[in-house]
Amino acid sequence: MYLSGRLYQLSTTIEHVFSFAMRDYLELEKMNTSSSSRAKFLENTEKNITQKIKSISIKRVNGITSSDEYKIRPDVIRNAVSFCAISGRANIMRGIPYSATSISLYDGDGQQSDAVVFDVYRNTYYYAEAGKNSFTPKQKLRVSRNTSLEGAYVACDSSSYKMLYRHNCIPRITGSVLLDLAFLSAGKYDAVVYRDVEFSKFEAGLLMVKGAGGFTKYIQQENGKYTILGSCSIKIMSQMEYIFGIA
How many other C-beta atoms are found inside a 10 Å radius of the C-beta of residue 102?
A: 29
Tell me whether residue 146 is in a domain. no
Tell me whether residue 140 is in a domain. no
Same-domain pairing of 178 and 65: no
Q: What is the pTM of this model?
A: 0.88
Task: State which residues form the domain around 115.
Answer: 5-129
Tell me whether residue 74 is in a domain. yes
Tell me whether residue 145 is in a domain. no
Same-domain pairing of 116 and 162: no
Domain end: 129, 161, 187, which one? 129
Same-domain pairing of 9 and 114: yes
Same-domain pairing of 124 and 26: yes
CATH of residue 81's domain is: 3.30.540.10
Is residue 71 very low, low, confident or very high in pLDDT (cuts 50, 70, 90)? very low
Give pLDDT tens digits for 162-202: 999 999 999 999 999 999 999 999 999 999 999 999 998 99
Give pLDDT tens digits for 28-60: 777 777 788 888 888 888 888 877 777 765 555
| Domain count for the chain | 2
Tell me whether residue 54 is in a domain. yes
> Do residues 175 and 90 make contact, with C-beta atoms less than 8 angstroms apart?
yes
Same-domain pairing of 20 and 121: yes
User: 12 vs 7, 29, 62, 125, CA distance in Å?
Assistant: 8, 26, 18, 11
Same-domain pairing of 109 and 187: no
